[in-house]
Chains A and B, each alone.
Chain A
Amino acid sequence: MPDTTVTSPVLSRLGGAVRWDTSVGVLLVVLLICSFSFVENFGNALNLSFLIGNTLPIALIALPMAMLVVSGEVDLSVASTAGLSSAVMGALWNAGMAIETIIPLCVLLGVVCGLVNGLLVTRLGLPSLAVTIGTLGAYRGIAQIVLGSDSVTDFPVQYLDFGSGRFGDTFLPYAAVPFVVLLAIAVVVLHATRFGRSLFAVGSCEEAARFAGVRVKRLKLAMFVTTGVVSALTGVFWTLHYASARYDNATGLELSVIAAVLLGGIDFDGGKGTLGGAVAGVFLLGTMQNVMSLLNVTAQSQTVATGVLLVISVLAPRIGRQISRARARARTAAPPPVTAPSP
């Protein structure tokens, strides 16, 4: 993992001993094994395809979101962008436009939404949290103006089949394939290219990264645009998966995405984390939700469980870091061993 935080070798070794994202991965595997063995109706292909299908929108947006958070920024307008994309899709379809034209237009819309966020953050130097809270409202508002409270459902069958179908009787939804492709691209970009290393550098210390020659603004703008595009595509997928274009589609999804990304060990302060961890976090939350529903846990208790898990996930790595830091301090502060105490 290209962890660019400047730490002493001792510290990084301690931090590496129990990595949070690895623990989340292990936790996911344990949860899956337990669910397969003990939860009735969990292991069949149909249920697994439901699980994956319902988690995919979160997983899709989590990819650019993880990278954005690594670079020290955040985008809260992703769900509204998806909703706007869905509303535009419905309105254009109603107007008689071809679906093959609508989808690229939605992607273009994602570019515009991302550019607005990115330019406001990089050109005007505004904090991304504030900017994207604003556009969260604005994009959702435009979506409502575009489509009103209509819902458009009569999309072409072959596209709906792609959105909600699966390969034969297997657990794999069709839509998982583009996700896996995007995941592979994202992993390579974040963990094996100069671009990815620069994101970590910017997230750990923007000033230092700039002096080291990283074009910080350009990098961030590119990430905002990517996030916008993936969000818009998720809006298209959402519309086809649930066979319904509505302005309020994906409401609140940004919180699930951020929760999953944080759970997966991406540090909210930037500069730390892996995509593997983020994806494990996404599917850990998704699996928990599925299992809790199968076990008849009420919606309220599910929300509480998710919330508690999130707080723990933010706290645990920090506490771990504090402990290792304290230990390291204790070690350096300890007097050098006296070799020959002569009486």
Chain B
Amino acid sequence: MFGTTTGSRRLTLALATATALVLGATACGGTTKDDASKDGAGAAAGKADPKAETKKGLTVAFLPKQVNNPYFTTADKGGEKALGELGSTYKEVGTSSGTDTAGQVSYVNTLTQQQVDAMAVSAQDPGALCTALKQAMRGGVSVVTYDSDTNKDCRQVFVSPASAEDLGRTQVELLARQIGGKGEIAILSAAQTATNQNTWIDVMQKELKKPAYKDIELVKVAYGDDDAQKSFQQTQGLLQEYPNLKGIISPTTVGIKAAAQYLSGSKYKGKVKLTGLGTPNDMRAYVKNGTVEQFELWEPAKLGALAARAAVALESGQITGKEGETFAAGDLGTMTIGADGVVSPGEPTVFDKANIDEYDF
């Protein structure tokens, strides 16, 4: 179409006109971020009756980020077990990809259509599920999020794996003990923009300012983008750049595994300490061969069980998702709902040589 010079000129003219029009539109104003009104409607309505009887025979659906992912399989099994104890029915649906937000939305819609009593959702995206979840709640479905939250007005309760404070603090504690309280340390994170990682890193940095850690110096935060190969290279880079490095914290399961893999095959094995968040199955070999002493993670089964119990408590009218309400959570005792409807099963579990064989996820 634009083979001739006249053609090219016509194209340039067209593009210029389009750009001018667009810029003109900017000058005329329009709807911007500042104009957009906030939808501040709270989700929790009605009154909670803590003495209400726990309903039986409910159907609670679990919608994990990804089905057949070992982490979520363990979490959902925990939910299934709890529902069995409560006399309710469990079902699980979900997409086979962890980034298929459209698929997740259509599953929420399907569950609404099937008139389940409650759903426990691990959101791939905080915003994308909102419309569908609000529609579900309007249809009388109780909505709990677990592991990954949506915006807070799109669900009633969020079951958080462990609080950001606990996670950040305990990882610093673990590493400080392993390196004897002094030396250079680094953090190997996932993507530079990952919200949860950054929250934990903020907590760690605050924690490190405490007098107890005055001899520990955080020299670098590296990013492996949750890519095994990139995390491996970043670990290699850290050790080259900082020959006196004493320890690494990797608060991501992909990162800690890649770092352990590098350390395990290098002269730094056992000398440079590594801790962070990992799964027992990923890390078993490295704990047994002495590369890693201790690392931690919450127990996904507890997370799922708590989500199931919160869903049933909501559906029974014992809670509505307001701060301060309490409900019975089996082995975990009585749980109290915190600010913004968040409830958490407590401190993460620390894994080491002694206990790692008791876990399979």
**Could you list 12 further interchain pairs (A-B, Cβ under 8 angstroms) beyond the known A98-B30, A100-B31, A149-B193?**
A96-B32, A98-B26, A98-B32, A99-B32, A104-B21, A148-B193, A153-B126, A155-B36, A156-B31, A218-B1, A242-B101, A244-B128
A7 to B309, CA, bound (A): 68
B288 at the binding interface (Cβ < 8 Å)? no
State whether the Cβ of B236 lies closer than 8 Å to any Cβ in chain A.
no
Question: A157 touches which one: B39, B91, B110 (CB < 8 A)?
Answer: B39
List CB contacts (< 8 Å) of B29-51 with chain A: 29-39
Candidates B15, B18, B21, B113; contact of A46 at CB < 8 Å: B113
Which residues of the partner chain A approach B112 to less than 8 Å between Cβ atoms?
A: 46
Task: Please state if A93 and B106 are interface contacts (CB–CB under 8 Å).
Answer: no
Query: Chain B residues near A244 (CB, 8 Å)?
Result: 101, 125-128
Interface residues of B (CB under 8 A from A): 1-3, 15, 18-19, 21-22, 25-26, 29-39, 67-68, 91, 93-97, 99-103, 105-107, 109-110, 112-115, 125-128, 130-131, 151, 191-194
- CB neighbours (8 Å) of A249 from chain B are 101
B102 & A246 in contact (Cβ 8 Å cutoff):
no
In contact, A246 and B101 (Cβ under 8 angstroms): yes
Please provide the 5 A-B residue pairs with the shortest distance between their CB atoms, ordered closest to farther: A153-B127, A98-B30, A100-B30, A148-B193, A218-B1
- Is A169 interfacial (CB 8 A cutoff)? no
In whole angstroms, how far apart are the Cα atoms of A251 and B112 in the complex?
25
A-chain residues with CB within 8 Å of residue B106 when the two chains form the complex: 50, 54, 289-290, 293
The reply on A127 being an interface residue by CB < 8 A is: no
Contact B101 A99 (CB under 8 A): no
A151–B22 CB distance below 8 A? no
Size range of the interface on A? 35 or more
Shortest A13–chain B CB gap in Å is: 37
Is A242 a contact of B105 with CB atoms below 8 Å? Answer: yes
Partner of A104, one of B3, B18, B115: B18
Are A151's CB and B127's CB within 8 A? yes
Please measure, in the bound complex, the distance between the C-alpha atom of A251 and the C-alpha atom of B124, giving whole angstroms: 13
A298-320 toward B: CB 8 Å interface, digit per residue (1/0)? 11100100000000000000000
Contact yes or no, B33 A252, CB < 8 A: no
If A47-B113, A101-B30, A153-B127 touch, whether A108 touches B36 (CB-CB below 8 Å) is no
Report B-chain residues with C-beta under 8 Å of the C-beta of A296. 91, 93
Q: How far is the CA of A91 from the CA of B49 in the complex (A)?
A: 45
Q: Which B residues are CB-close (under 8 A) to A248?
A: 99
A151-B126, A156-B35 as given contacts; A98 in contact with B25, CB under 8 Å:
yes
Contact A148–B192 (Cβ < 8 Å): yes
Contacts of A98 in B (CB 8 A): 25-26, 29-32
**Interface check A217, CB cutoff 8 A:** yes
A94 and B93 within 8 A (CB) = no
Partner of B22, one of A108, A159, A251: A108
Tell whether, in the assembled complex, residue B94 and residue A221 are in contact, meaning their CB atoms are under 8 Å apart. no
Query: Once A and B bind, how many residue pairs between them come within 8 Å at the CB atom?
Result: 145
Which residues of chain B come closer than 8 Å to A160, judged between CB atoms? 131
CB interface residues, A 37-81, toward B, < 8 Å: 40-41, 44, 46-47, 50, 54, 57
What A residues does B35 contact at CB under 8 A? 156
The verdict on A222 contacting chain B, using a C-beta distance below 8 Å, is yes
CA of A93 to CA of B15 in the docked complex: distance in angstroms? 22
A154 to B36, CA, bound (A): 7
Instruction: Scan A83-126; emit 1 where CB is below 8 A from any B CB, else 0.
Output: 00000000001101111110011001001000000000000000
Q: Which of chain A's residues have a CB closer than 8 A to the CB of B109?
A: 47, 50
Q: A155-B36, A242-B101, A303-B96 are in contact. Are A298 and B67 (CB under 8 A)?
A: yes
- Name which residue of chain B comes closest to A50, CB basis: B109
Q: In whole angstroms, how far apart are the Cα atoms of A289 and B100 in the complex? A: 14
User: Does A243 reach chain B (CB closer than 8 Å)?
Assistant: yes
Nearest chain A CB to B168's CB is how many angstroms away? Answer: 20
Report the minimum CB–CB distance from B119 to chain A (whole Å). 14
The answer on a CB contact under 8 Å between A101 and B25 is yes
Q: Which of A246-262 contact B (CB under 8 A)?
A: 246, 248-252
Q: A149 near B194 (CB under 8 angstroms)?
A: yes
B105 cross-chain contacts in A, Cβ below 8 A: 54, 242
Quick one: which of A98, A105, A250, A300 has the most chain B CB within 10 A? A98
Interface string of A189-204 (1 = CB under 8 A from B): 0000000000000000
User: Across the interface, do A243 and B131 meet the contact criterion of CB distance under 8 Å?
Assistant: yes
| List of B residues within 8 angstroms of A157 by Cβ | 36-37, 39
- The smallest C-beta distance from B73 to any residue of chain A, in angstroms, reads 13
B155 to chain A, nearest CB (A): 14
Interface centre among B25, B31, B68, B192 (most CB of A within 10 A): B31
Of the candidates B15, B36, B95, the one whose C-beta lies within 8 Å of that of A299 is: B95
By a CB distance below 8 angstroms, the chain B residues around A251 are 97, 99-100
Min distance, Cβ B28 to any Cβ of chain A, angstroms:
8
B contact residues around A294 at 8 Å (CB) = 110, 113-114
Contact present for B191 and A148 (CB under 8 Å): yes
Assess whether A164 is interfacial by the CB under 8 Å rule.
yes
Beta-carbon nearest neighbor of B36 in chain A: A156
Contacts of B29 in A (CB 8 A): 98
- A300–B66 Cα distance when bound, in Å, is 11
At the interface, yes or no: A150 with Cβ under 8 Å from chain B?
yes
Note all chain A residues with C-beta closer than 8 A to B127.
151-153, 242-244
Could you say which residues of chain B place their CB within 8 Å of the CB of A293? Answer: 93, 106-107, 110
Distance in Å: Cβ of B261 to nearest Cβ of chain A: 24
